Amino acid sequence: MQQIKTDLCVIGAGSGGLSVAAGAVQMGARVVLIEAGEMGGDCLNAGCVPSKALIAAAAAAEAQRKGFRGVAGVAPVVDFAAVKDHVAAVIAAIEPHDSQARFEGLGCTVIRAQARFTGPQVVEAGATRITARRFVIATGSRPFVPPIPGLETVPFHTNETIFALRDRPDHLLIIGGGPIGLEMAQAHRRLGCAVTVVEAAQALGREDPEAAAVVLASLRAEGVEIREGVGVAAVEGQAGAITLRLADGARLTGTHLLVAVGRKVAVAGLGLEAAGVEFDAKGVKVDARLRSVSNRRVFAVGDAAGGLQFTHVAGYHAGIVVRQAVLGLPAKARTDHIPRATYTDPELAQVGLTEAEARAVHGAKLTVVRAGFDGNDRAVAGAKGAGFVKVMVVGGRPVGALIVGPAAGELIGVWALALAARLKLTALAGTVLPYPTLSEASKRAASAYFSPKLFDNPVLKAVVRFVQRVLP
């Protein structure tokens, strides 16, 4: 067996692992990168990238269908297989950045095999034994398949297989009303499929209810059927005729089934017991530094660290780990400034505390300010006036922000910056923005915090009257 001694061994070549490996090797560390599956991980091959490519094609179809005032809409001609060619082309265009060749070019030793710890400082992968000073577990997560009776007997898709489907479903059934389920529901509906979503609790249940209602109303208006508050009791049928038996006795039949009820961390088979690394169903047990609580030589990033499951979190974690494992500097991970976005139309984005969370934490100290896109000139000009910006403020600083509306995933960036840097609202309220832009809605929300102090203040009004009398 080949023996390698290295500074850093990274297990998993998804977003987090690639970021750690690239940063570490370019700073001069010796790095071994191990990946048993596809380079780029879930995000490139079965998640963020293909889903946004599919959403873009669906948006083009919807724009053609709806038209615009003075511009007649026409029924789009959708070649579903060609849409999937677009999805594959987008993956192929981005793939070289995450490729084995690129990382070997940077100086990493890349091993394409299953990794397994055989001791606290030793991992075996294929015919290679790696001894390292530090390890980073970046194995991500896989789709969770719920134990629904009959599900194991019928063909179904997850995000790992749905993008390879080239024949358009006549009727797509989706179990799960979270971001993945609803993004895929709207995209497939716009591409000509009938779509029914079943959610046992509330669709987008993690999000602000007022904002979620805006998104759900839009999907329903486009013809997506969404059933909330009822679970799936059983699944039966075969390819082309799949039936969901709901807990309330209803039966839904479709041609295809997508299961989108969450994800489970992929740490099975890593031999973590041999390394003395404690873990549970949520992932590796880590401290605030993302270091294993039971083996100080092991770090975990991204989904494997048992926290928020977002690609951008994995990238953020990578910086935290590189700072410690490569530079020997202290660093701790935060979660209060991490944004999230659901890429439906309209989009929904949140950073920091929701209104309900903020009220529970801050009580009477909380002020909630908002601005609607119906008062934003750019949104009105583009017939995108639905939605709003809502900001939760304590002591003049935002503790959370929500945007539902056009380009919410882009617009949330300014609020992510504000929370990360702990800026006061005066910073945004005093910023000059180009007119007309959607970003003015955020500035308007920030300015709304100061409006009562300026325009409803009797003392200020008395001062102004005095100044006006004495000014020459």
CA dihedral 291, 297, 303, 308 (to 10 degrees): 10
In 3-state terms, what secondary structure has residue 294? coil
What are the binding residues for FAD? 52, 139-141, 303
What are the binding residues? 52, 139-141, 176-183, 199, 262, 303
Contact in structure between 378 and 346 (CB atoms under 8 Å): no
Rounded CA separation 304/281 (Å) = 10
Contact in structure between 415 and 401 (CB atoms under 8 Å): yes
- Nearest CA to 4 out of 98, 121, 103 is that of 121
Helix residue ranges per DSSP H, 264-407: 311-325, 355-362, 377-381
Beta-strand (E) ranges in 40-181?
109-111, 115-119, 122-125, 128-137, 141-143, 171-175
In 3-state terms, what secondary structure has residue 36? coil
What are the binding residues for NAD(+)? 176-183, 199, 262
Rounded CA separation 79/317 (Å) = 40
Rounded CA separation 207/267 (Å) = 28
Distant-in-sequence, close-in-space partners of 193: CB < 8 Å, separation ≥ 6: 168, 169, 170, 171, 172
